[in-house]
Structure 1
Amino acid sequence: MKKILLLFSIFLLMSGHLLAQQVDFTEFNLENGLHVILHQDNSAPVVTTSIMYDVGGKDGDRERTGFAHFFEHLLFEGSENIGRGEFMKIIPANGGSFNANTSQDRTYYYESFPSNKLELGLWLESERMLHPVIDQVGVDTQNEVVKEEKRQRYDAPYGKLLKVLNENLFKVHPYKDENIGKMEHLDAATLEEFMAYHKTYYGPNNAVLIVAGDIETEETIELVKKYFDEVPRGNEVVRNFPKEEPITENIRAKAYDRNIQ
């Protein structure tokens, strides 16, 4: 019986190794610090262009929480060359889909298109990085959008679970704060504060561009340079978070949610 179990275990290990897929990719840096990763897969005529910024809910003034998530929304407002609200019309009009999300550590944007629209995806993301329009109209609009998201997701039954969990796990590190931030912080923030936050965290040297799908690698390298070489390098991001004391015993906590009957 032991021999059978041993042979079965070896078979499972070998099967996992054989089924593991190796992903080939090309990566390089532009002179402005943008890190680029390209993966060519010509099995289907689609391509995804995405950018991940090294900024999340943990970053920024603790009296201005929620800025990273706010910018996830705000950077869809438009650019110097894309009218307000047009960003989200251009993509589906060209057969594409898109989304974005923010965690405590990063913000991620992507568009998926038919592969003959690769250049459009690169242009859209370069516009978001190089020419975003950050004005009071956009801030006021997205402030209401974020408040509605909070009502639907965070103020819903069990929506406080992560908040309570993080408040008990972290006492001084910014992970203790909700990713969406406090609404009073967003209400009190000035346009100048939003612009300063963008200048700090959204430079090419604080981002990774990923293009994957039905591409030709050498051609895509030239297109990346065409659309992103001119983006000026940003200041280096410096972080100095407070250190948590080790958790050495069980934590038991109670929380009450008025939205649960």
Structure 2
Amino acid sequence: MRKWLLVFSAGTLLCSNAFAQARKINFEKYTLPNGLKVILHQDRTAPVVAVTVLYHVGSKNEDTARTGFAHFFEHLLFEGSENIKRGEFMKYVNDAGGSLNANTSQDRTFYYELLPSNQLKLGLWLESERMLHAKIEEIGVSTQREVVKEEKRMRIDNQPYASFQTEMLKRAHHDNPYRWAPIGSMEHLNAAQLPEFIDFYKTFYVPNNAVLSIAGDFDVAETKKWINDYFAAIPRGTRPIPRPQFENNLLGKEVRDVVEDNIQLPAVFQAYRAPKQGSDEYYAFNMLSTLLSGGASSRMNKSIVDEKQLAVQALAFPFFNESAGLFITVGIANMGVKPDTLEQAMDVEVNKLKTALVSEREFQKVKNQIQTQFVSSNASMAGIAESLANYEVYFGDADLINTEIARYEKVTRQDLMNVAKKYLNKDNRVVLHYVPKGKAPAAGQP
């Protein structure tokens, strides 16, 4: 499951041009007659290959009475197929010396195998089985229901502050399909019947809703032949694929609440409505998050944690999706510090962004950090394959893996101020005060 904390902590590069072009990622892209998009990046420096498939389905595509389906399928589709016995999907990969995993967001579901390059054919076979012959049976559904319940208990119910995502989304995105987290509702999953799971599979797990992205050590001509052998005969999906459309407006008023949790230290979570990923303002927001919390010398860390000692941790991060976004600031209070006091300190740092231009030196530092993060994300074959698939699905342009850094280069100091003024306002945010259980203030008390 996609983690909700994305912290830019890369160090500063000592270079005269922060946006010096990293090595070019060469790739070939084509589409099979059944609609499956294929992206191939050959890199023969090491005998490894990443075989990945991205399906353009996430929690936002779900029925409002059946939330959690996309994440559930992330688990269910390791159950096996007509030609793979239950429990053997992972065994094939492990026996070949590889590894595999999957993750789900609100916009997509991503599967991958990392294999020795001489096992590429195995990865293609496994993914073609997942796409064409997956077994959607009662035994698998029942098994994975329990797996998902245990994951929710471990990662959300029993983790301090982990309910933040669910609590924040239902308030910040109250009027659109991003209002529930990918983990969804256990009650919805329990109520669902087998035909509903089969229907979900036949709707979304089709070649014309997927990207097969391969990166690593392989022969291009041979790989194309294998791809044709394994995937070309899979029928194109004929059902309409739900793509929810909605307006991404400003909130219009501040929403505040108190959440009691099994925690020792109070915390403040703030989420501002923001534009969708890929917009010009999106790149400015990414730079703002780095400015506020990108490393030990960032603004929030220096002021709130080191100097004022109001928090043990303070950070900001963008939570952007295909159709809408949030800009989130977080503070975990120091011992004895009240949430109101911490919130005021956080507001001071946010308001500075609206009243004074970032200095040239600080702006250059942020550029350097963005460059480092950008290069690091494409440092592995799996990272490259995933980036290519993401860019193709979200923007229809896989070459953004080479050109997106230029979009950051266009952002100016004035752009940062303009975005802060437009979005980082009290009437456009949700504020949650997390307090230990039994410590919520009584009605009418501050």
After TM superposition, the score normalised by the length of structure 1 is 0.91
- Within 1, Cα distance between the matches of 2:34 and 2:192? 30
Q: Is the 8 A contact 2:61 2:242 kept in 1?
A: no
2:61 paired residue number:
59
Letter in 1 for 2:33: E
- Within 2, Cα distance between the matches of 1:218 and 1:32? 20
Q: Is the 8 A contact 1:129 1:204 kept in 2?
A: yes
Residue ranges of structure 1 left out of the alignment (5+ in a row): 1-10
Q: Does 1:206 align with 2:209?
A: yes
**Count of residues in Structure 1 that have an aligned counterpart in Structure 2:** 250
Q: Is the 8 A contact 1:37 1:208 kept in 2?
A: yes
- Within 1, Cα distance between the matches of 2:156 and 2:248? 26
- Within 2, Cα distance between the matches of 1:66 and 1:109? 17
Q: Quote the sequence identity (%).
A: 52
- Within 2, Cα distance between the matches of 1:131 and 1:118? 19
Letter in 1 for 2:74: E
- Within 2, Cα distance between the matches of 1:97 and 1:161? 31
Q: Is the 8 A contact 1:168 1:253 kept in 2?
A: no
Q: Does 1:171 align with 2:171?
A: no
**Matched ranges for 1:1-261 at <5 A:** 12-13=16-17, 16-18=19-21, 20-156=22-158, 157-235=160-238, 236-258=240-262, 261=436
1:8 paired residue number:
none
2:290 paired residue number:
none
- Within 2, Cα distance between the matches of 1:144 and 1:133? 18
Q: Which has the higher contact order (CA 8 A, sep 6+)?
A: 1
- Within 1, Cα distance between the matches of 2:152 and 2:102? 16
- Within 2, Cα distance between the matches of 1:46 and 1:210? 14
Q: Is the 8 A contact 2:26 2:41 kept in 1?
A: yes
Give the root-mean-square deviation of aligned CA atoms: 1.7
- SS of the residue corresponding to residue 185 of structure 1 reads helix
Q: Is the 8 A contact 1:170 1:244 kept in 2?
A: no
- Within 2, Cα distance between the matches of 1:187 and 1:68? 15
Q: Deviations over 1:75-109 (max 9, x none)?
A: 00000000011001111001010000000000000
Residue ranges of structure 2 left out of the alignment (5+ in a row): 1-14, 265-435, 437-446
After TM superposition, the score normalised by the length of structure 2 is 0.54
- Within 2, Cα distance between the matches of 1:226 and 1:259? 54
Superposition deviation, residue 220 in structure 1: 1.1
Letter in 1 for 2:241: V
Q: Deviations over 1:14-34 (max 9, x none)?
A: x6415x111000000000000
1:4 paired residue number:
none
